[in-house]
Structure formats: structure tokens, C-alpha cells
Amino acid sequence: MSTAKTNRPTPVERWVRIPDGTKVRHRSEAYDGVIDGLTEIVSGSERNPDGKTQYRVNVGDSTRLLVSEDHLNILLDNKNLVLLARESELYRRNVTDRLRAVFAEDRFVRIGGKEPSSPGK
């Protein structure tokens, strides 16, 4: 008896990584920072959907904190585009569309505010 293999993607296959350079805000501690890469975590329960990493968030003064995706909001500019360091508007639109496809609306926050921002505003 053979078992049929489904073509369903696993959570890791569906995971969309927040790109380096993206400006983020910690959801509960409310500090702002910039994604500066991933760090593989050997122990602990707070990890990204890939099950093995956390984001390195540069919060200034050469300080980097490790944070899982669940604790981050993504910052938007006044055009409701993801804030990315030194990237073109076209690229930022593409990243915004990709991230909006996988994250709930409450994960996007307009810079300068603490409230979620809808794309139509």
C-alpha cells in the first residue's frame, strides 16, 4: 500500500522573508529598526516560520537584536509602500505587494504612527 504525496506547500515553502533593509517596529516594545539579516538559532521557541532563524534588527548605535517575525510590524511611507533603505519605488512596490500577500493588514504601520494603515488611505 503506497501513500499519495500531496503537492501542498509546507509552511517553509510559503514563507516570504522580510528583505534586508526593511524598516520595522517591534509590536510590543515599539522600538524601530532595520532588518539586517537572519541568524540561525540553536535553542529557544521564538523562531521564524522556517523553524531555525530569527531576524537581526539593527536598532542603532551598533546594536542588533534578534527578533522572530511574529513580533515585527512593517513600516510604510506616506504612499503605503514598505520603507526600504536606498531602493527604488518600483522595487518597494514589488516588495509591498509580496509582503501584503502573506501578512495581515494589522502588521503594516505607517511611519510616525502606531496604527495599522490600509492600502486605500
pLDDT tens-digit readout, 57-92: 999 888 899 999 999 999 999 999 999 988 899 999
Does residue 52 contact residue 40 with C-beta atoms inside 8 Å?
yes
Calculate mean pLDDT across residues 107-121. Answer: 65
* Single-letter amino acid code for the residue at 6: T
Q: Which amino acid is at 22?
A: T
β-partners of residue 38 are 55
Confidence class of residue 38 from pLDDT cuts 50, 70 and 90? very high
Residue 24 pLDDT greater than 50, yes or no: yes
